[in-house]
Structure 1
Amino acid sequence: MERPCLSRRHALLFPATAAGLGGLAACAPEDEGFGTSGPLRAEDGTIPLTEIPENASTMVNFGGQQPFVLIVRGAGDDLAAYSGYCTHNGCALSQEESVLDCPCHGSRFDAETGEVLRGPATRHLPEVEVVVEGDVVHRVR
């Protein structure tokens, strides 16, 4: 009897291997989660206040460790800031108007409050301390 080119054991492992590789690709490091609208870049650790629109939320890359911060600006220099990473598994979030989406597992957050709108995340986004000095915004480390 001729031996088959693909054993039963290997045939059973194939779907699991393909699913595992697909799952790894979903959280690949080169995918920062921002799609077509990237965050504002704060090259020197500061960003001009004028680049952050009033009455809106904006993702900012301050560089360094955990660089992505969601800044929510009211009128003038009224700011609040939240981590730009999902509290479920740490993936970088993408912003779609007033909602932040996690490209890894589908969690959604309110872009003005950081509150969870849909799981699997169960914790809201932690606040990040930022200060306005003159006409620039600094992230406090």
Structure 2
Amino acid sequence: MERPCLSRRHALLLPATAAGLGGLAACGPEDEGFGTAEPLRADDGAIPLDDIPENQSTLVNFGGQQPFVLLVRGAGDDLTAYSGYCTHNGCALRQEEAELDCPCHGSRFDAATGEVLLGPATRQLPEIPVTVEDGLIRRDR
């Protein structure tokens, strides 16, 4: 008698294998869509202060490692910068109006203060040192 090409044991493993592969597909490349706000690019490592609207938050790509920075500008030269990555698992954040959303696990942060609005993240976004000189914003290294 010839054995079937698919044993009962292997047939029972198919649903578990398909579910596992589907889960891995969901963990694909990091989502850097940034929701309603495309990050500004600082191709030469600097961005003009005038490109950041007063009393608003703007995601900026400074390039290099951990390139995404949230710049929060008050009036004039009042500027604070936060990491653009979730403190829970390091995923790039997306800006949705006055909030930053983590596409990986659903954490949300206040785009003006970096404080956690919704977990699983428990730590606010860390501040990033930046310098404003001659009307240009540069990320300190």
C-alpha separation in 1, matches of 2:8 and 2:119:
38
Alignment-derived partner of residue 67 in structure 2? 67
Deviation at residue 27 of structure 1 after TM alignment: 4.1
Q: Give the letter for the 1:105 counterpart.
A: H
Q: Percent identity?
A: 81
Q: Give the letter for the 2:135 counterpart.
A: D
Deviation at residue 22 of structure 1 after TM alignment: 3.9
Matched, 1:97 2:65: no
Q: Give the letter for the 1:50 counterpart.
A: D
TM-score by length of structure 1 reads 0.87
Question: How far does the alpha carbon of each residue in 1:63-99 deviate from its partner, in whole angstroms, 9 at most, with x for none?
Answer: 0010000000001110000000000110000000100
Q: May I ask how many residue pairs the two structures share in their alignment?
A: 141
Deviation at residue 38 of structure 1 after TM alignment: 1.9
Contact 1:33 1:91 (C-alpha < 8 Å) held by counterparts:
no
Structure 2, unmatched stretches of 5+, are none
Contact 2:86 2:125 (C-alpha < 8 Å) held by counterparts:
yes
Distance 1:86 1:103, change over 3 A: same
Structure 1, unmatched stretches of 5+, are none
Alignment-derived partner of residue 86 in structure 2? 86
TM-score by length of structure 2 reads 0.87
Alignment-derived partner of residue 117 in structure 1? 117
- 1:100 is paired with a residue of what secondary structure? strand
Contact 1:33 1:103 (C-alpha < 8 Å) held by counterparts:
no
Deviation at residue 47 of structure 1 after TM alignment: 0.1
Alignment-derived partner of residue 140 in structure 1? 140
Q: Give the letter for the 1:73 counterpart.
A: R
Deviation at residue 21 of structure 1 after TM alignment: 3.6
Contact 1:26 1:104 (C-alpha < 8 Å) held by counterparts:
no
C-alpha separation in 2, matches of 1:111 and 1:24:
30
Which structure's CA Rg is the greater one? Answer: 2
- 1:66 is paired with a residue of what secondary structure? coil
Alignment-derived partner of residue 29 in structure 2? 29
